[in-house]
Amino acid sequence: MVASDPNSPPTPNGRSFDGISHGYAPDGRPLADPPVPLEKIVGDVVDNLSATAKAELALLEARSELALHGATWTAGWGTLAASALGIAMLALAFGAILALAPHFGPLAATLMVVAALLVVAGFAGWRAHKSYGDIRTALRRDLTNEGIDDAADA
């Protein structure tokens, strides 16, 4: 019988070298994880984009609901405040007429109070018009070419 060479690799039980390559040991753990397939990466990206879009839509819906809630309560409380202010202005006007009537007569007192209220109303209207111009500027589509939208609104 021929003695086997101690330097030659043994071939026990029909094993071959097919299991040894690319950093893998035979029947052992790989040195690095196998690469992730491109289809899985693309699928994960699509899932993340879909989740992001759904979250953005939910955020927009929540913000619109909050804005609607705020606008509703602002309108209600604003109406109450405007009504109270109107009644207070009527009481002030009647009081002014009654206070001035003994000194200037009822007609002159009424005309003086009406003129003062018209001056206040004119000033308030001028300020409201100026504020409306600020709103139009803020909502303008093209801020660099301001004449186009102004001509269409006029």
The answer on pLDDT for 25 being more than 70 is no
The answer on pLDDT for 146 being more than 60 is no
Count of structural domains within the chain:
1
Q: Is residue 129 part of a domain?
A: yes
pTM score > 0.85 for this model?
A: no
Q: Is residue 88 part of a domain?
A: yes
Q: Is residue 110 part of a domain?
A: yes
The answer on pLDDT for 19 being more than 90 is no
Would you state the pLDDT for residue 135?
75
Q: Is residue 31 part of a domain?
A: no
Q: Is residue 153 part of a domain?
A: no
Tell me the residue range of the domain where 100 lies. 38-143
Q: Is residue 27 part of a domain?
A: no
What is the spatial distance between Cα 20 and Cα 27, in angstroms, rounded to a whole number?
9
Mean pLDDT of all residues belonging to the chain: 79
Give the range among 74-83, 114-123, 130-139 with minimum mean pLDDT.
130-139
The answer on pLDDT for 147 being more than 70 is no
Averaged pLDDT for residues 80-99 = 94
SS (H, E, C) 36-96: CCHHHHHHHHHHHHHHHHHHHHHHHHHHHHHHHHHHHHHHHHHHHHHHHHHHHHHHHHHHH
Residue 113 burial (CB count, 10 A) = 20
Would you state the pLDDT for residue 50?
86
Q: Is residue 112 part of a domain?
A: yes
Q: Is residue 154 part of a domain?
A: no
